[in-house]
Structure 1
Amino acid sequence: MSSLDTPALSRRHRLFAAGFRAIAASRADLWLGPVARGRGVVLTFHHVRPGAPGAYAPNSLLTITPDFLDRTLRLVRARGFEIIGLDALPGRLARGGRPFVVLTFDDGYRDNAEHAAPILRRHDAPWTLFVTSDFASGRGRLWWLELERAIRRLDRIRIVDGIDPIDLPARDAAEKSRAFEAVYRSLRSGPEARLLARIADLSAEAGFAPGTLAGELCLTWSELRDLGRDPGVTFGAHTISHPMLAKHDAATARREIAEGRTRVAAELGRPVIHLSYPLGDPTSAGGREFGLARDLGFATAVTTRPGHLFAAHAAHLHALPRVSVNGHHQTEAALSALLSGVPFLAWNRGRRLNVG
């Protein structure tokens, strides 16, 4: 856990860590796992890169080290899981068999090719990279990273519109972390247009143009084509601009999903049949989006709702849960617990399906 975590996030991560340790100490991942574990699990990754996070790193939950990715793949197989490609998931759900893991990476970061791909090849592990077409074109809004950079550069954060104006110091790591949490929480709960506008204002105040980070951090179309020579890689769609789809009208959501796929398929010269909903929680993707993905002919679509895959998910292939491999919990205890499915008995209140 970063020493920079805000009090609220620190408490949450400490609670998670304590739960993982308790599961490991009681060996509940072994004796309760057969009941909790589904037929398979889809793991979510974002950044894979070496080094520890700096003093101020509010998005560090999205980053794991190459060493931990290597240890993850070793533990997955040691626990009896088969690593399969996303194309094979529907069939395996339907017929059962050996428990499986699917590896998915969101957004299309360059570090996936630099640091993750060699490890995945060494383990002969198939994986899916979900590409946001604007990011690959170098013009998308990685707004959560823009917010992090802006607060890193500023010593005071002011957002004066809205019901609860924000005016917070950001002079040191702890203050910057608290400011990030307050701004994120406020903007994330409201309209996306306001979120993008206010973060653009902060970016300009901090001396950089919004929409420039994708060119720094994400794979270009040319780099994606080079990566596509690896037979272990499958490309999926992650919309045009990475919006919170549920906050937009149906026509906009449909266009984002459909045209995002069209652009990826055209640029990379291969069919694209899998979708990842941006952000992927219930406030960003729900029943309407699941129906759009189904009607547009995707074979699968994945959320970030946490959980394992059960036989009943075969009838809900456009609302699949995933399990995030969290940068705050790069331990064998955490990974073993997540692979066992035990934490989700409480998280999902005993439900195997969360597809509404």
Structure 2
Amino acid sequence: MAIKQLLKRTSGWLYLNSPVGRHQLHGAGVILMLHRVLANDRAADLPHRNELCVGPKAFAHLLAWLKKHFDCVPLMEILQPGSVRSERPKVALTFDDGWRDNALNAFPLLKKYQVPASIFLSTDFIGSRQRFWWESLGETLWHSHGEKARAHLIECLQQLGRPLPVLLDDLDVQRRSLALLHFLQSLKSLAPGELNRLTDQCPEESLPQALDWHQVRALEASGLIRFGPHGASHAIFIGLDDQRLDEEISRSRNALHNGCNRPLPVYCYPNGDHDARIREHVADHDFPFALGTAPGIYRGISDPLALPRIGISQRTARNPELLSWRIYRGARP
């Protein structure tokens, strides 16, 4: 695996610095997808956090690398480019969900490096004590809230026919964390109501997990951050009927218009899931653009309601040459 990663890093670096790579990326835009920036890197290193979380040192390293190789621009400069052309490729940062650590940990570094970003809010969570199920269930099962809370949640999961895999009791931290990651991914198939009921069985944290509207407005006033909708309840759109889908889109859109001065004309699909029906509903609510999670780069010719993004994990942030490899893969004709 180490040799494979080394080959990817080397190939990515060569591509990014080659005439072929510069030609293919000329006029293109790279949209990156992040979720959280934790308070320390050690916590972000574990597999069940690695995909959605980066640590502050890794994030700072990523920002410095991006500034060296790209023009770091607001998302709308990629989607609606102006007349000023640059020889360097453009990159835009997006954050999904609206985690409170976007303000506490990510923003100070974005401000330090002067890198703009877009944050897509699951609006029911903003300013409330409603919690994200992935965080609540994952950290409870990881013993973050004590054995009693973990045992109670395990019993609730067994009642739903979702017993924990044996590897979740493995003594090896990495194997145990990887097993938890796979288990949490398997829970995505549960109905939103069941996930909410499981979350309610977890202990309440001392702080809400999401931003509040005061933080949203303060970040927006900085000039570096803009906001868009990412569903209201973060229900996965594929499983919703037309009425519920329209309610989710309109409720999140209205919340952004009431809470922000300049909400983005960009929708962000929860979990990235969409199809022709969902894209049509989003367009009917006057969104000309929407973000998915399919990897690739944007050249202005693909479906604007299925924009590609490249996800950033802790591993990628620590080793940005791996990102250049993924950009190479996405830029191939």
Q: Normalising by structure 1, what TM-score?
A: 0.76
When residues 60 and 248 of structure 1 are mapped into structure 2, their CA distance, relative to the original with a 3 A threshold, is same
Q: 1:243 aligned to 232, 235, 250, which one?
A: 235
Alignment of 1:265-344 (within 5 A): 265-280=257-272, 284-313=273-302, 316-329=303-316, 330-338=318-326, 341-344=327-330
Unaligned runs of 5+ in 1: 1-10
Q: CA deviation at 1:65?
A: 2.6
1:140 to partner: Cα distance? 3.2
Alignment of 1:161-310 (within 5 A): 166=164, 168=166, 170-171=168-169, 172=171, 173=173, 176-177=176-177, 179-197=179-197, 199-200=198-199, 204=201, 208=203, 212=204, 215-280=207-272, 284-310=273-299
* Aligned mates of 2:83, 2:291 — CA distance in 1: 17
When residues 17 and 261 of structure 1 are mapped into structure 2, their CA distance, relative to the original with a 3 A threshold, is farther
Q: Which runs of 5+ in 2 are unaligned?
A: 144-149
Go from structure 1 to structure 2 and tell me whether the alpha carbon gap of 1:269 and 1:58 turns closer, same or farther (over 3 Å shift): same
Query: Is the CA contact 2:165–2:183 (under 8 Å) kept in the aligned structure 1?
Result: no
Identity of aligned residues (%): 24
Contact in 2 for aligned 1:290/1:318 (Cα 8 Å): yes
Letter of the 1:335 partner, please give it: L
How many Å separate the matches in 2 of 1:165 and 1:15?
36
Deviations 1:211-270 (A, max 9, x none): x55953221112222222211211111111111111111221221112112112212344
Letter in 2 for 1:219: L
SS in 2 for 1:336: helix
Q: Secondary structure of the equivalent of 2:308? A: strand
Question: Does 2:8 match 1:20?
Answer: yes
CA-atom RMSD, angstroms? 3.2
C-alpha distance in 2, partners of 1:129/1:73? Answer: 16
Is 1:30 equivalent to 2:22 in the alignment?
A: no
- Aligned-partner SS, 1:140: coil
The CA deviation string for residues 80-125 of structure 1, in whole angstroms up to 9 with x for no partner, is x222212333322999764211111111122222222222223332
State how far apart, in whole Å, the 2-side matches of 1:95 and 1:317 are.
21
Residue type of the alignment partner of 1:276? C
Q: SS at the partner of 1:304?
A: coil
Contact 2:122 2:234 (C-alpha < 8 Å) held by counterparts: yes
Partner of 1:261, secondary structure, is helix
Task: Give me the TM-score of the superposition, normalised by structure 2.
Answer: 0.81
What is the SS of the residue equivalent to 1:234?
strand
Tell me how far apart the structure 1 counterparts of residues 267 and 83 of structure 2 sit (CA, whole Å): 20
